[in-house]
A and B are shown apart, each in its own frame.
Chain A
Amino acid sequence: MRGINKAFPGVRALDNVSFDCRAGEVHVICGENGAGKSTLIKVLGGIYAPDAGTVLIDGNPVRFGHPLEAREAGVGIIHQELSLLPNRTVAENLFLGREPTRYGLLDRAAMRRGARALLARLASPIDPDLPCGRLSIHEMQTVEIARALGLAARILVLDEPTAALDAAESERLLALVRRLRADGVALVYISHRMAEVMAVADRVTVLKDGRNVGTAPRAALSVPDIVRMMVGREVSEMYPAPLADASGEEVLRIERAGNGALSGIDLTVRAGEIVAVAGLEDSGKSLLTRAIFGDAPFTSGRVLLGGKPVVIDSPRRAAASGIGFLSEDRKGEGLALRQSVRDNALLTLRAFAPSLADAFAGALSARRADAVLRSADVRTAAYGGPVELLSGGNQQKTIIARWLTRAPRLLLFAEPTRGIDVAAKAGVYRAMRDYVAGGRAILMASSDLPEVIGVADRIVVMRAGRIAGELPAGVTEEQVMALAVGAALEEEPRAPA
């Protein structure tokens, strides 16, 4: 890609960016949100046409008018949002749009054979007859990659593929990436996770504000180098220091609680503390936050808030009792995407206002909303514009602002920085630390081990719906992982579908 320019109303998304990727190479693109990564990928994938510049494949200039043309030219893109049909089988998904037929009827035997062959190329044991909805996220990604390979993709773009994966699954994905590299596929890999970048990249390109600020072999770069290029300054302290004394009074105590998916949960959270819940993808750490918030409530045991026993059986009761919740699915559950930033910030406040209150008057006024949004450091041209136009980091801060309007004693925070770039992460961590400094507490569920270790005052590790153990701050990733996977370092067999 040579000298690519692309502008949107008011934004210069790409400014003379050149980028190349060779066969059998993993080329990582780093950059903050809004740096132009996705725009660059969309130009490559034929979703956007560049204003200026040329895309060359095998040295020949190409112009894509439609995503299909890019696909036919051998470009496969695995987006963050997976596009598989949950109710159709793996084989049906793999051959979607190009089903083999015999005498005018679908040739299901051929589909199954072809599916097995494609999956075998990725050394994946996935059963082609399973509906995709029963697969884990990692398995779905594998199916998407297999589909791209089935379309003879020679250039494969992976857009933050590990964002939704836990550590063990990420490791498997990286192994898959290496395997594809050995096969001679040109891989463009977008990631925020520095450990991953260092583990898999052959070359690294950093984008900032729509410009290519540098391309270099990985061996010539260190993590601080890359971070400095991304943010244009040193991020000396990614994680703010914890308070000297974080042993305030008890905010939350759970005694022998459980429900269908969780059992024997004993847990306390104190004022001034950030407690992290770590664990593999299906360990129950996100279900724990949902149980406390009353979304999928506990059915046994006791929950005490500030020493008083409470029954929380709905999110509304949780919010009324002083518990806030930030979902890991920011777009699906956290935000009303088409509504304004301001409306999103006021959502909970309005939910607890008298029914007949004027939605724009008094305590709910725009000025109050704007003040809260500013205090949460939400940056956008207009708070009246739709929240879907904001970057991931600013969207997350909008939801933090929403809870600031009620300032609950306990904030449940699932995957606080999923899909958020490095510089914005530091901002979120600072906001979290500020939040608990006022005698409040945060219980954070996270799949990002460096984040768990860097942020938490205490780490609770979950495994198979139970609490496997508790670790103090300052432990290593290996210690957390050992607890998360259990003594025998083996994956439990998947339950037959």
Chain B
Amino acid sequence: MRRLSVPSVPLALILGSLLAFSATAVATHSNDQLTWAGLGGLIERMVALGIVALGQTFVILARSIDLSVAQVISVAAVMASFVMQGRVEMIGPAIALVLAISVVVGLANGLLVARARINPFIATLGVGLCLQGVLSAAFTDFAGSVPRGFQVLAYGSAGGVPLPILLLLLLTTLCWLVLEHTRFGAHLYAVGGNAEGARQAGIHTGRVLIAAHAVCSVLAGLAGLYLAARLRSGAPWIGRDGVYDLQSIAVAVIGGTLLSGGRGGVWGSFAGALLFATLDAMFTMLAVDPFFQQVLRGVVVIAAVAAYSSRSRLLVA
């Protein structure tokens, strides 16, 4: 009777992605892609987007949205490398500062949405614009650098498994645990599913929404830290150029999280990010024109949402 803890949609997406990846590798004789290293490379591509999408999933489940994640990523990456300036002893303070900034941005988003009742689209877009403005005014290029010790986050491995992959799996599991097995998680689904019903059931809907935004921004901050480690330095455009805001929303939706809130989960978003990474890898192997790649990505997003909506229509009929 018990529902599977990893529902069938993410599982199908993950298996399908891996299958498509292998098939393309075989077809293009890219045998190096079929090694553990090749597979690891595939998954590493999804780490930054995956982490952001986890956070995005939280706010979407609560029937909100966060368009400021790309700017939070840029701020986090720039502040990390600027504070570290290549010195190992500054790693701790830099991480603390980045997390503090992320929490503050998340709280600001949450307060605007939950207390000032500003449409989340507008509120987070505005916050993102402010962040980008401040950042662009203060930094024009790569700022500082991260020490070798910090780059371990992106290039190290433990027991043969690359650290970024472990990090993503760990965070996804943690988020899943929070959503499925804590009161906060249950209340998040309730607020997204029926805010008035949740309020009447005695849930502090505002606090839940604010917390969801804080979680989202912190995860975006972590993604920024990871990108700083990977790029060895942070620049004020890395979040924006990665289109992490819209891509994280697309990935969450592909994974089965409803934009209207109340249904979905982080494993779906994980699977969605994997699908995007797979597409990228396949495009590279098949040498697809970069502009056409964008078209195909767009088609995949629309097809995924269309599949969900036709499925739910079948359920209704």
A binds B: yes
A83-B194, A83-B197 as given contacts; A97 in contact with B189, CB under 8 Å: no
Closest-CB distance, B204 to chain A (whole angstroms): 9
B175-228 contacts to A, CB under 8 A, are 177, 180-183, 185-187, 189-190, 193-194, 196-198, 200-203
Residue in A68, A87, A98, A129 whose beta carbon sits within 8 Å of that of B189 in the complex: A87
- The interface residues of chain B lying within 8 Å CB-to-CB of A397 are none
Contact of A96 with B181 in the complex, beta carbons under 8 Å: no
B contacts with A, residue count (CB < 8 A): 25
* B3 in the interface (beta carbon within 8 A): yes
Cβ contacts B239-266/A at 8 Å (1 or 0 each): 0000000000000000000000011000
A residues in contact with B203, CB < 8 Å = 96-97
**Minimum Cβ distance to chain B for residue A80 (Å):** 14
- In the complex with contacts A83-B200, A85-B193, A105-B181, A97-B187 CB distance below 8 A: yes
Residues in B with CB closer than 8 Å to A98 are 202
Expressed in whole angstroms, the Cα–Cα distance for A98 and B193 within the complex equals 17
The answer to the question of A88 belonging to the interface, with a C-beta cut-off of 8 Å to chain B, is: yes
Q: Tell me if B311 counts as interface (CB < 8 A to partner A).
A: no
Q: How far is the CB of B261 from chain A (nearest CB, A)?
A: 9
Asked if residues B1 and A106 are in contact (CB atoms below 8 Å), the reply is no
Q: Nearest CB to that of A88 among chain B residues?
A: B189
Please name all residues of chain A whose beta carbon is closer than 8 Å to the beta carbon of B262 when the two chains form the complex: 85-88
Residue interface mask A348-377, B partner, CB < 8 A = 1: 000000000000000000000000000000
Given that A71-B202, A87-B262, A98-B202 are known contacts, is A104 also in contact with B197, CB under 8 Å in the complex? no
Question: How many residue-residue contacts, CB under 8 A, span A and B?
Answer: 64
Q: Output the least CB separation between B186 and chain A (Å).
A: 5
In contact, B182 and A129 (Cβ under 8 angstroms): no
Contact among A85, A104, A127, A260 for B182, CB-based, below 8 A: A104
Would you list which residues of chain A between 80 and 131 have a CB under 8 Å from chain B?
83-88, 92, 96-99, 101, 104-106, 108, 127, 129
A68 & B193 in contact (Cβ 8 Å cutoff) = no
**What's the minimum C-beta distance from B255 to chain A, rounded to whole angstroms?**
15
Q: Is the CB of A87 within 8 A of B263?
A: yes
**A96 lies within 8 A of B3 (CB):** no
Name B's interface SS: helix
Q: How far is the CA of A16 from the CA of B21 in the complex (A)?
A: 75
In this assembly, does A41 line the interface, its C-beta being within 8 Å of a C-beta of chain B?
no
Q: Taking the nearest CB of chain A, how far is it from the CB of B165, in angstroms?
A: 26
- Tell me which of A85, A92, A127, A260 has the highest count of chain B C-beta atoms within 10 A of its own C-beta: A85
Q: B317 contacts A96, CB within 8 Å?
A: no
| A213 located at the interface, meaning its Cβ lies under 8 Å from any Cβ of chain B in the complex | no
B2 contact set on A, CB distance < 8 A: 129
Say yes or no: B194 contacts A85, CB within 8 Å.
Answer: yes
Q: Is the interface of A mostly helix, strand, loop or mixed?
A: loop
Interface assignment of A475: CB less than 8 Å from any CB of chain B: no
Query: CA–CA, A84 to B190, complex, Å?
Result: 9
Give the size of the chain A interface in residues (CB under 8 angstroms). Answer: 24
Given that A96-B186, A98-B202, A99-B186 are contacting pairs, would A84 and B197 also be in contact in the complex, using a CB cutoff of 8 Å? yes
Q: Using Cβ atoms and an 8 Å threshold, which residues of chain A touch B183?
A: 99, 101, 106
A261 within 8 A of B: yes
Minimum CB–CB distance for B47 against chain A, Å: 27
Question: A296 on the interface (CB 8 Å rule)?
Answer: yes
Q: B182 and A106: CB pair below 8 A?
A: yes
A67 at the interface (CB under 8 A from B): yes
CA distance A485 to B294 in the complex (A): 57
Q: Which of chain B's residues has its CB closest to A100's CB?
A: B183
A96-B190 CB under 8 A given contacts A85-B197, A127-B1, A129-B3: yes
Chain A residue, CB-CB nearest to B193:
A85
Of the listed residues B1, B187, B194, the one surrounded by the most CB atoms of chain A closer than 10 A to its CB is: B194
Instruction: Name A261's contact: one of B180, B186, B201, B317 (CB within 8 Å).
Output: B317
A85 to B197, CA, bound (A): 8
Q: How far is the CA of A492 from the CA of B78 in the complex (A)?
A: 65
Residues of the A chain whose Cβ atoms lie less than 8 Å from the Cβ of B189:
85, 87-88, 92
Among B187, B200, B263, B317, the residue within 8 A (CB) of A67 is B200
Contacts of A261 in B (CB 8 A): 317
Complex: A260 Cα to B317 Cα, angstroms: 8
Contacting residues, chain B, for A101 (C-beta < 8 A): 182-183
A112 to B176, CA, bound (A): 20
Taken together as a complex, chains A and B put the C-alpha atoms of A71 and B190 apart, in Å, by 19
Q: In the complex, what residues of A have CB within 8 A of residue B190's CB?
A: 85, 88, 96-97
Q: How far is the CA of A106 from the CA of B178 in the complex (A)?
A: 10
- CB neighbours (8 Å) of A260 from chain B are 317
Select from chain A the residue with minimum beta-carbon distance to B189: A88
Q: How far is the CB of B308 from chain A (nearest CB, A)?
A: 13
* Whole-angstrom distance between the Cβ of A407 and the nearest chain B Cβ: 32
Q: How far apart are the CA atoms of A62 and B227 in the complex, in Å?
A: 58
Chain B residues near A86 (CB-CB < 8 A): 193, 262
B180 to chain A minimum Cβ distance, whole angstroms, is: 8
| 29 A-B pairs (CB sep. < 8 Å) | A68-B202, A83-B194, A83-B196, A83-B197, A85-B197, A86-B262, A87-B193, A88-B189, A92-B186, A96-B190, A96-B201, A96-B203, A97-B187, A97-B190, A97-B198, A97-B201, A97-B202, A97-B203, A98-B202, A99-B183, A99-B186, A101-B182, A105-B177, A106-B185, A106-B186, A127-B1, A129-B2, A129-B3, A260-B317
Q: Which 7 A-B pairs have the closest CB atoms?
A: A83-B197, A97-B201, A85-B193, A97-B202, A87-B263, A96-B201, A105-B181
Known contacts A96-B190, A101-B183, A106-B180; can you find 18 more A-B pairs with CB under 8 A?
A84-B194, A84-B197, A87-B262, A87-B263, A88-B189, A88-B193, A88-B262, A97-B190, A98-B202, A99-B183, A101-B182, A104-B182, A105-B182, A106-B182, A106-B186, A129-B3, A261-B317, A296-B317
